[in-house]
Amino acid sequence: MWHKMVLAVTLAALAGGCTTMTPEQRRAADEEKCRSYGFTKRNDAFAECLQRLDLDRRAALRQSNDFNVWQPPVVIYRPVPVPVKPG
């Protein structure tokens, strides 16, 4: 019985991974959306449109269950050995 649940969760994770956009793809989609609104590249209105799309996306992330304001940030620590010269 639990095998079916593991399979379902695995398939859901794989399907969710297929919809992930790279930053370049997201930027191209945002630029296309702003052009569809009638804005042209290389002006303040176009830049403001891109900024608003990004701010809306961040606000939606804060409202989703994936964002936990109380969770501490992940800190990756990797010591770098520095050789000491004798003398």
Domain that holds residue 57: 23-61
**What does the pLDDT look like over 5-60, one tens digit per residue?**
555 566 565 555 556 889 999 999 999 999 999 999 989 999 999 999 999 998 88
- Residue 20: both structure tokens together: 């992930």
37 in a structural domain: yes
| Count of structural domains within the chain | 1
87 in a structural domain: no
Instruction: Find the distance separating the first CA and the last CA of the chain, reported in whole Å.
Output: 68
Closest CA to 49 of 64, 61, 39: 39
- Residue 69: both structure tokens together: 């304001």
Element (H, E) at 23: helix 23-36
Contact indicator for 23, 31 with CB cutoff of 8 Å: no
Token pair 């992330």 is found at 61
**What does the pLDDT look like over 42-56, one tens digit per residue?**
899 999 999 999 999
